[in-house]
Structure 1
């Protein structure tokens, strides 16, 4: 019996470490970062600070985090950070940890904690630790409410000296967060019954299966001018196939005639020539789009379907276009060809612009452009625009309204492209705003035509900074946004510099749409989540911050990295859930 007790005493610490959901004790390390796993260092050359793992000075266990700062520039602290997803409920969150300092001066050291999604924050500024102190416990207590998305916490050092952080514990209403059991979603009978009652089961993934199970989309879409179809990854085959099926339904049963994809606006004309008139091939059309994400078997089959539909319905043809602006070649080629045929006075300006485009191909924007360069580019593009306006009548007589209108848009795309290339640090907002502007132009270019958009969830979402948020200001109820989620499977993405199809979808995390959807056992379905549809209490999980899978072109490891928070009814009108998806087939 004594031997058994002794064995349990020896094993207990390691068993407890194995059960830890959060690496708050720093006992698991990451060989890639040389820091405790999950921890991040925020330092800058100006702060003259370093964050490292220390195995010689610890409060307990094997490791602690050490922050070192060689100067006392208080405005540029060294920070060690860790995030904990809010997969629990409570009123207060308390961080307790042990801190040791050595010769801290010209600033302070301490713990810090922030409740993301709220304004709750404390960095111990008013009670910061200074000088040399032994291991001492400190606490931070903040309010926790339903808007909380994640807890960000760690240690910081604003002054010169050294500080060690160890043995952190997080308490939710007095309970150790490590020991709070995961939420049993399947046991939530009311929520599951609500979901089963309101979900529209999706009977088929592929096009060509009729639209009986899609009829519930008609009252949701109504007379909307735009339907935006998102995707939870850029490489999920079944998501692409369902989007193809939805395009088929929207074209054949609801009169949509414009298809616009997250690809460069000028270059998409090559695919449009194929789907409208059979010029070239669908494969060459995909090549012109640049992105490997669309160079897939699934998108190829959709383009071929569009061509077949147009052959059978010459009076109801659907067009293929893009709305992105990340490349300059298509716009430059179009403008140079126009100059050669109709506008010789435009050629010198375009030759200068092309030379700058070529510089961007071989150097980063910071190396390629000086302030003077940016001024010149702006002037050249403005002068080209002035020429088009000044000679519009002559150009129109020679080339026609449509060609002149497209050349003016090519110039706008170039302006957007150079703004994106030369405004480092704000590219995400610049691109989304520009894509929204191009979609608005398409809507004016084709008055009365209904448009299907194809892009990532992260672009179609109505978040104010995203493409969908910009479009919402113009189209409001004339736009319906449909997001996608999936519970398990594989996906295509770039990993270690190569396109890989063996990336694994992490299981749904707590407080995620996919978690509830998977627990319901419904299978694939469509769910209307417009707020006026959400009148019953069991949908409170939808109205709070919930998580939805979001992976771009780069592979992401771990469940927390693969999901992002949102108030889903604010971002989308409907969600499509696919229980199991596989990697898209890159050609």
Structure 2
């Protein structure tokens, strides 16, 4: 079978990826099956640079806080701050400590230097300001949205004053209490104040929409984009906090789903300004439902990729990444009857390759590889049942330790 599969493998290059697709997608997503591996991030960087230089892509969006990402974008486009400051303040999940992310930001700043704004590359985080153990206070986005509107529309149209927002929000540590993830009673998301804030946020978003002709005529595209980001994030956070206080069995399913809804909305907004290269975990980008085993049992929800694909069709493409070994994490040579095991037997000169999935399906015929079971929780193997919903596979034979 390895001889048949050999013809499905190609060099990992942007041009080759695009040849697998019927059209240049507005959102081209590259998934990864594990986080914090610089070898995978180096590959991401290479593809993004090629997509910029050869295919007209101008934005990269990664699985990081959408608000913190504004710090990176400001540096990349205008040089605001220093590289050290940006790496410390511009990434969530401690992504700023990774060498490949630092190299990405450095390259973007160098590429943009001296170029007009229309030709510059842009950076975006598309995750919400969330962690698995907590969610941020909605204060920054609610006050920013209110501030944007208060300087541009009649005061009588605003649903509340800044003082009202401040009183309802209260202390930020009430919102960010990490104990609320395991104990819903610690969340204030269904308090009287939170309910009133949800109504006010809805009114602020409606005002933003109602004043669109005036705002388009009087503010810059970047200012409007940020106001829309604040609006999406404010309503998304308040919705997330509401369900953090839920005690039903569906609580974690709702929270996982709401996180990916926020991701999808941000990616769709980014795609309005041009083609976007997206990088995140496979589970956030796949077209099939995502699953995770959590403390209360298995959870299943539609990913951001599934939501976007349903809306954009061929304007969304998903290339998954699969791995052979991560020996420093105890992930050794894959069993030969798994999908990764079959790909691992490709010629030794291919440390990484791009797999044409339709040709792979033909090569497999009626054979169905067994699902791989990873000995390490941090690596999610590619399930062979997902092949029909994947546009391509980047296979990395061995992930080295750094």
Q: Specify the TM-score bucket, using the shorter chain as the normaliser.
A: 0.7 to 0.9
Does 2:328 align with 1:467? no
In structure 2, C-alpha distance between the alignment counterparts of 1:243 and 1:371, rounded to whole Å: 37
Partner deviation per Cα, 1:381-410 (whole Å, 9 max, x = no partner)? 221331454476499488666154343233
TM-score by length of 2: 0.78
**Counterparts in 2 of 1:511 and 1:383: CA distance versus 1, 3 Å:** same
Partner deviation per Cα, 1:277-325 (whole Å, 9 max, x = no partner)? 1111333333332212453001110111111111254341111112111
**Counterparts in 2 of 1:337 and 1:390: CA distance versus 1, 3 Å:** closer
Q: How does 1:291-440 map to 2 (within 5 A)?
A: 291-311=93-113, 313-314=115-116, 315-327=118-130, 329=136, 332-337=139-144, 339=146, 343=150, 345-352=160-167, 354-355=169-170, 357-362=172-177, 363-365=179-181, 366-369=184-187, 372-373=190-191, 376-387=193-204, 389-390=206-207, 393=211, 396=215, 402=224, 403-419=226-242, 421-423=244-246, 424-426=251-253, 427-440=255-268
- Contact conserved, 1:326 with 1:417, CA < 8 A, in 2? no
Q: How does 1:177-576 map to 2 (within 5 A)?
A: 191-202=1-12, 214-221=14-21, 222-288=23-89, 289-311=91-113, 313-314=115-116, 315-327=118-130, 329=136, 332-337=139-144, 339=146, 343=150, 345-352=160-167, 354-355=169-170, 357-362=172-177, 363-365=179-181, 366-369=184-187, 372-373=190-191, 376-387=193-204, 389-390=206-207, 393=211, 396=215, 402=224, 403-419=226-242, 421-423=244-246, 424-426=251-253, 427-444=255-272, 446=273, 449-464=274-289, 465-490=302-327, 502-522=328-348, 523=350, 524-529=352-357, 531=358, 533=359, 536-541=362-367, 544=368, 546-547=370-371, 556=377, 563=381, 565-576=383-394
Q: What is the SS of the residue equivalent to 2:59?
A: strand
More helix by proportion, 1 or 2? 2
What is the Cα deviation at residue 469 of structure 1?
1.2
More strand by proportion, 1 or 2? 1
What is the Cα deviation at residue 442 of structure 1?
2.6
**Counterparts in 2 of 1:331 and 1:372: CA distance versus 1, 3 Å:** closer
In structure 1, C-alpha distance between the alignment counterparts of 2:271 and 2:34, rounded to whole Å: 27
Query: How many residues of Structure 1 are paired with residues of Structure 2 in the alignment?
Result: 359
In structure 1, C-alpha distance between the alignment counterparts of 2:185 and 2:173, rounded to whole Å: 13
- Contact conserved, 2:30 with 2:279, CA < 8 A, in 1? yes
Q: What is the SS of the residue equivalent to 1:520?
A: coil
- The answer for unaligned runs of 5 or more in structure 2 is 290-301
**Counterparts in 2 of 1:432 and 1:334: CA distance versus 1, 3 Å:** closer
Q: What is the SS of the residue equivalent to 1:563?
A: coil
| RMSD (CA atoms) | 3.2
- Contact conserved, 1:241 with 1:298, CA < 8 A, in 2? yes
In structure 2, C-alpha distance between the alignment counterparts of 1:349 and 1:229, rounded to whole Å: 43
- Contact conserved, 1:472 with 1:479, CA < 8 A, in 2? yes
What is the Cα deviation at residue 353 of structure 1?
5.3
What is the Cα deviation at residue 228 of structure 1?
0.4
**Counterparts in 2 of 1:311 and 1:389: CA distance versus 1, 3 Å:** same
What is the Cα deviation at residue 352 of structure 1?
4.2
- Highest Rg: 1 or 2? 1
**Counterparts in 2 of 1:201 and 1:439: CA distance versus 1, 3 Å:** closer
- The answer for unaligned runs of 5 or more in structure 1 is 1-190, 203-212, 491-501
Partner deviation per Cα, 1:554-574 (whole Å, 9 max, x = no partner)? x538xxx85363413234211
What is the Cα deviation at residue 537 of structure 1?
4.8
Between the two structures, name the one with larger relative contact order (CA 8 Å, sep ≥ 6): 2
